[in-house]
Chain A
Amino acid sequence: MVGNTDGQASVVVATGLERTYGEGDTAVHALRGVSVQVAAGQLTAVMGPSGSGKSTLMHILAGLDKPTSGSVLIAGTEITTLGDDALTKLRREHIGFIFQFFNLLPMLTARENVVLPLTIAGEKPDPAYFDELIARVGLTDRLTHRPAELSGGQQQRVAIARALVSRPTVIFADEPTGNLDSRTSNEILHLMRSSVDDYGQTTVMVTHDARAAAMADRVLFLADGEIVKETGRTSQGEILQIIDSLDLQ
C-alpha cells in the first residue's frame, strides 16, 4: 500500500522497505515491504500495536538504521546508500528528532540544548526566530536551567525547540508523549500541531494515543510490519474504531 500525498510535494519517499533482524529460524521480519510518502507541511501519525515495526520504520526513514532492502529519499536524496559523513550532513540540514526520553544533554542549560544542532553545524541562531520559538514553547524563563531542574513536560518542550531550531525538512518523533501524563501530553501535542500549522513544519510522529493521532493530517496504521490502513485527518472516535476494526489493540 502506498500512502497518498494529497497532491503536495513529498519530502520523504520510501519504497519497498524491508527490515529483517537476525537470520534463519530466529529471523524477525520487522518490516515487510512498506512504501510511504510524507507530504511537506503535514503532521503524519503512525499507529500500530507494540512490535508492529513503527520504531523500525521511523529509524529507517530517518537514516538511523538501514533497511534490508528498499529505498528512502529525503529531499530527493537516496539515503540508504549514503556514507557516514554524507548522512551527518543530511541530518544537519534535513532531519530533526524528538525522543520519548527527551535525550537532553544534562550538563547544558535549556538554551544551550536548544541551539545544540546549530552549534554542532557551526551556525548561529537567528535571534528573532529563536526568541519567538522559545516564547512559543513557553521556556522564556527557564532558559538557564539544567535538564535536571526541569519537569518532564518542560524537558520535552526543550527537545521540541531543539528539533525546530534548525528548521529541518522533516521532524521525526517516536512516542513524544509516551513518558508524560495526559495533561502535559496534550500541551506537547498542541505545540507540535501549531508548529506544523504556523511554520509548515513537516512532522512524522509515532504514537499509541488516539487523541494524538486525531490531531494529525494523516494517520498510517501498521501491523506486523505492513501498512494496513491509512486515513486523512479524522476524529479520535473514528481512530479508535479503526483500531477496533483492525482488531489491533
Chain B
Amino acid sequence: MIRFALRGLLGRKLRTALTAIGVVLGVALVSGTFVLTDSISSAFDSIFTENYKNTDAAITGKAAFELSGDSAGTAPPFDQGLLAKVAELPEVGAAGGAVGGQAQLIGRDGKAVAFGGAPNLGFSVDPARPEFNTLTLVKGAWPTAGQVVIDTKTAEAKKFATGDTIGVQARGAVQRMQISGLVEFGAVSSIGGATLAGFDLPTAQQLFDKPGKLDQILLAAKDGVSTQQLVDAVQKILPAGTQVRSADDQAAEDAKGTSSFLTFFRTFLLVFGGIALFVGSFVIANSLSITIAQRTREFATLRTLGASRRQVLNSVVLEALLTGLVSAVAGLFLGLGIATGLFKIFDAAGLTLPNNGLVFRTRTVVVALAVGVVVTLLASLRPAWRATRVPPIAAVREGATLPPGRLHRFRPLGAALLAVAGVALVVSGLFVDGLSTGSLLSLLAIGVLLIFIGIALFSARLVRPLAAASDPVARWSVLVLSIVAWPLFSLPYWLLRRGFWGSGSTASRVGGLLLGAVLNPVLLVIVALMAVRRAVSSWQPEWPAEFPGVLSDRPAVGIGGQNSRRDPHRTASTAAALMIGLALVTLVATLGAGIIKPFEDAVDKIFSGDYAITAQNNFSPLPPTVAAAVAKVPGVDALSSVRGGQGRAFGETIQITGVDKQAPDVLRFDWKSGSQATLGELGADGAVVDADYADKHGLAVGSALPLETVAGKTLPLQVRGIFKPPAGGSPFGSVTISTSAFDATNPQPLDLYTFVSLRGGVTAANTAALQQALSTFPNAKALTREQFKKVQSDSIKSLLNVLYVLLALSVLVSLFGIVNTLVLTVFERTRELGMLRAIGLTRRQVKRMIRHESVITALIGAVIGILLGLGLALLLAARLDEISFAVPTGQLLLFAVVSVVVGIFAAIWPARRAARLDPLEALQYE
C-alpha cells in the first residue's frame, strides 16, 4: 500500500507539490520562528553569561517591590562604601564595583549613533580587575578620567579612531571625550545594534548622575569557599536596598526581560504561522477532494479487485501522510532560510538583532514535522472518508462522480450552526467580564476558527449569487487593470518576443526590442532567458503571439463565468482560503483605522501646549536635564514634563506619573472631581488618580492613598482630583503626583514627554529656539502637536505594516490554492477544452476564460472575507473603548483590487497549460 501511495504521488507530482505549498510555507514560518527566537535567545544568554564570567556572586540595588516588565523604573543604586566593606570579608577573593546606564555616542554629524532600537550601553570599566571586565580591548588603552572606549562597530560605521574626540550624552548635556581605545563585547560576535561606551568609575558616576554610588558589585570567592558560603557571608552585612545573588541567578534575572519579550515575539510569529497553516489546510482539503473526485474510477477499480474500504482509506491517508512529511521537511529547511532572511531584513530595517549563529534545536525539528504532518492528516480525513464511499460499480460507470455524503443534506445547517457557535464564543470572550487573558484569547481564537470553517462550508450556498454579482465586477476590473498594465507588461512583452524571434523587418524588430526594454527592463531579462532556453533546448515558446489586446472577450468570459458557478463547493472552498486572509487583513486595517482616530482625538484633548519634546525614536524616556534646557528658552510660558515610573499601592504595582506646577497650562484633563488648578497644586502629598482606578479602590477626593516608591519610602498621598482619561489612551499612570514628590522618591527619574507653550505659539522662530536648546541633546527633538500625532500614528501604522506582511503569507498560500484548483480543473476538463478548441475557441479565449473564472473566485473570497473582517472588527470595537469603528474604505478597495490581481496571477499558469492543450490530443485523452 505504501508503494501505491508513493506511486500515486509521483504520478501526480505537480498536483501534489501545489497541494503541499500551503503546508510548506506554514511550517517554514513556524520553524523559522523557532530558529530565529532560539538564535536570539542563545545570543542573549551568552551575553548575560559573559557578563558574569569569573564572577561567583553579584550585589545589586533592590527595588522596594518587584518591578513589572521593563518599563520605566529601575532599581536604585547604593552607596559605594559597601564595596570596601564587602572586600574585607574573609570569603571574598576579589570584588569590583561598577555603574552603568544609557550613554549615547554622538556622531560627527551631531546625531546620536543608534542602530535600530538597540540600546546604547554605557558602563564603568576597571582595568585593575580584568577578571570582571566583559570588554576586550582591541586597540588603544583603557580610559582614564574624562576618556571613553567605544565599540569597534560604532568606530567603523562612524569613522572614529583612538585619539579622536566623540560626544557622549548620558543624563546631562553632551560632553566631548577623547577615545582612548576600541573594545568588543567578550566573545559575542554581535550584540545586536547596541553601542558600547566604557569609562572609568568616577567619570561614569558623574555621567550617570550616580555620584558615590554603585549599581553592582561583582564578587569572586576565595579558593575553597563555595558560592553559597560567599552569598551567605555577604548577606549578613548587606544594608537595606541591596541584594546578593549567585552569578547564575543574576544572569537568569538579567535575562528575564529579554526572555519574556522573546516569548511574546515567538508567540506572535507562531500565530501567523498557524494562520498560514490553517489556510494551507483548506487548500489541502480542497485539492484532495478534487483529486479524489477525479480518481473515483481508480478507487472503484481497486474495490472490484478486492480492496477493502479500510485499504482505500489507508492509501489516501498514507498519501496525505507522505505529502505532509515531505512538505514539513521542506518547510523546516525553508524555515532556516526564513530565519536568516529575517535577521537580514531586521538588520536592513536598522533593527540589528544579536546573532551568534543559527540555533537549530531538536524541538524545532519535532514541532515543525509534527505540525506539518498533523495538519495535512487532519485536512485529508474528510476526503479520505469520502473515497471509501466510492462504490465498486463506479468502475464501470462513465463519468461516475463521488456520491454525496450521508450528512450532505445537513451541511448548510451544520455550517450555519458552526458559524453561530463561533460568533457566540467570540461574543462571550469579549463581553463576559473577569476572564483571564489566556482564556479570553483562546475563546476568541477558537471562535474565529469556527466562524471561518462554518462560513467556508456554508459559502457554497452563496457561490451562485455571488459569482453572478462578481461577474461584471471581474470583467470591468480586469479591463481596467489590463489597460493599466498594457504599456508596462503586455506591450513590452509582445515587443520583446517579437524582437527576439518574431517576424518583421530587422529594423522594426530591433526598434521594438529597444522600446520594450525601456518600458520594462525586467521583462527583457525574462525574455532573454526564454531566448537562451529556446536556443539550447528543443523548447518552443508559444508563437506567433497576437498583438496584446485589452478588451474582454464576451464568449470566453461568458463560459468562464459559468464555469465558476458549476461546482459551488469547489469554488467556495477555493475562495475560502482567500477569504481567511482577507478577513484578517480587513480586521487589522479596520482596527488600525479605529485605533488611530481615538488616539489623535486623545492627543488633541490632552495636549494643550504648543510643542512636545520626545526622544528621536519617539518612545525612549529622556533625562530631566532635557526639559531643564528647554525651560531656559526665552519665551517659554509654561512647561511640564511627564515623569514615568512605578509604585506600589493597595498591594499591586502600578504605573505612576509626575507633572510640574505649570502642567495646567500645557495639559488638559477631563475632570470628574477636581479642576485644572488641582494639577498645579499637588505639592508633596497630592495625587490625581484616573477614574477606573478610583472606582476600583473606592477613592474619592480626600481619600488617603499610601504609595510605596521604588526606593522603599512610602508617600502618604491624598487624592485631590479624579480624571477620565480619553478613550484613545493617555500618557498618565493610575496615580499622578507632583514632579517634586516624584523626584524625591525615585532615583534616576526619566521623562516620558515634555510639553511646552511658548509666547506666540507655534512659529518658525520658536521652533528654531527649541532646536537650538536641544542641540546639546541630540537624542531629543521638538514636535508640534500635528507632528506629534503624526509620528505616534506612524508608529502604529508601521506595526500594522508588519501585520500585513505576515498576513500576506496566508494570502500567498491561498493564491496557490486557486492555482491548484484551476490546474486540477483544467486537467479534469481536458476533453471539454479540446472540444471548445475544436469548435473554434482560440488560445487567447481559453486563457481569458480561465482567468475570468479565477478572478470571480478571488472576488467571492474577497467579498466574504472583507465583510467577515468588518464584522469581527465591529465586535471588537463595540467592546474596546480604545477602538472606534471606522471603515477604511480606501484600503478595503485596495484589498479588493489586490484580490483581483491575485486572481489574475493565479490564472496565468493554469491558463497557459489549458491553452497549450492540443485539441486533438485533448479529445483522444482517456
Contact = CB atoms under 8 A, between A and B. Distances in A.
A18 interface: no
A117 B306 contact: yes
A62 B311 CA distance: 20
Nearest to B7: A107
B307 A99 contact: no
A97 B305 contact: yes
Interface string B883-900: 000000000000000000
Given A64-B393, A91-B305, A97-B305, A120 B926 contact: no
B277 to A, nearest CB: 29
A130 interface: no
A112 B396 CA distance: 21
B639 to A, nearest CB: 80
A120 B395 contact: no
Contacts of A85: 308-309
Contacts of B311: 120
A120 to B, nearest CB: 5
B122 to A, nearest CB: 68
Contacts of B304: 62, 64, 91, 95, 97, 103
B926 A101 contact: yes
Contacts of A55: 396
A64 B305 CA distance: 11
A107 B305 contact: no
Measured as residues with beta carbon below 8 angstroms from the partner, the interface class of chain A is 20 to 34
Contacts, number: 66
A157 interface: no
A64 B307 contact: no
Interface string B911-926: 0000000000000001
Interface in A103-132: 103, 105-108, 112, 116-117, 120-121
A55 B393 CA distance: 11
Contacts of B487: none
A13 B10 CA distance: 44
B306 A92 contact: yes
Contacts of B307: 88, 120
Nearest to A146: B11
Contact of B303 (A88, A107, A121): A88
Interface in B299-357: 301-309, 311
A32 interface: no
A59 interface: yes
Interface string A75-107: 000000000110011011001010111010111
B486 to A, nearest CB: 42
A134 B802 CA distance: 64
B212 interface: no
A187 interface: no
A65 interface: yes
A101 B188 CA distance: 70
Contact of A116 (B297, B305, B308, B392): B305
A88 B306 contact: yes
A88 B306 CA distance: 5
A202 to B, nearest CB: 17
A162 B305 contact: yes
Interface residues of B, number: 24
B306 A120 contact: yes
A88 B392 CA distance: 10
B8 interface: yes
A103 B395 contact: yes
Nearest to B302: A120
A101 B308 CA distance: 22
Nearest to A106: B11
Interface in A200-245: none
A131 B55 CA distance: 80
B298 interface: yes
A5 B365 CA distance: 68
B6 to A, nearest CB: 9
A148 to B, nearest CB: 9
A107 B8 contact: yes
A84 B393 CA distance: 13
Interface in B279-301: 297-298, 301
Contacts of A121: 306
Residue of A64, A97, A106, A121 with most partner-chain B CB within 10 A? A64
Contacts of A174: 396
B308 A88 contact: yes
A109 to B, nearest CB: 9
B395 A99 contact: yes
B7 A59 contact: no
Contact of B7 (A92, A108, A120): A108
Contacts of A166: 306
A62 B305 CA distance: 12
B392 A105 contact: no
A120 B11 contact: no
Contact of B301 (A65, A84, A88, A105): A105
Nearest to A94: B306
Given A106-B11, A107-B11, A59 B396 contact: yes
A108 to B, nearest CB: 6
B635 to A, nearest CB: 85
B314 to A, nearest CB: 11
Contacts of A84: 308-309
A167 to B, nearest CB: 13
Contacts of B396: 55, 59, 64, 99-100, 174
A120 B4 CA distance: 10
B312 to A, nearest CB: 10
B30 to A, nearest CB: 32
Contacts of A64: 304, 391-393, 395-396
B10 A107 contact: yes
Contact of A103 (B7, B11, B297, B308): B297
Nearest to B8: A107
Nearest to A65: B393
Nearest to B309: A84
A112 B4 CA distance: 10
Interface string B394-428: 01100000000000000000000000000000000
B389 to A, nearest CB: 10
A138 B297 CA distance: 27
Interface in B9-61: 10-12
A99 B297 CA distance: 12
A17 to B, nearest CB: 16
A122 to B, nearest CB: 9
Contacts of B298: 105
A62 B393 CA distance: 10
B301 A103 contact: yes
A65 B393 CA distance: 7
Interface string A152-167: 0000000000100010
A149 to B, nearest CB: 13
B211 to A, nearest CB: 82
Nearest to B394: A64
Nearest to A62: B304
Nearest to A121: B306
Contacts of B391: 64
A120 B303 CA distance: 10
Contacts of A92: 306
A59 B302 contact: no
29 contacts: A55-B396, A59-B393, A62-B304, A64-B392, A64-B393, A64-B396, A85-B308, A88-B307, A88-B309, A89-B306, A95-B304, A97-B305, A99-B395, A100-B396, A103-B297, A103-B301, A103-B304, A103-B395, A105-B301, A106-B11, A107-B8, A107-B10, A108-B4, A116-B302, A120-B302, A120-B306, A121-B306, A162-B305, A174-B396
Given A59-B393, A107-B8, A120-B306, 13 more contacts: A55-B396, A62-B304, A64-B391, A64-B393, A85-B308, A95-B304, A99-B301, A103-B395, A105-B298, A107-B10, A107-B11, A120-B302, A120-B307
3 closest cross-chain pairs (CB), A and B: A107-B11, A92-B306, A64-B393
Interface of A: 55, 59, 62, 64-65, 84-85, 88-89, 91-92, 95, 97, 99-101, 103, 105-108, 112, 116-117, 120-121, 162, 166, 174
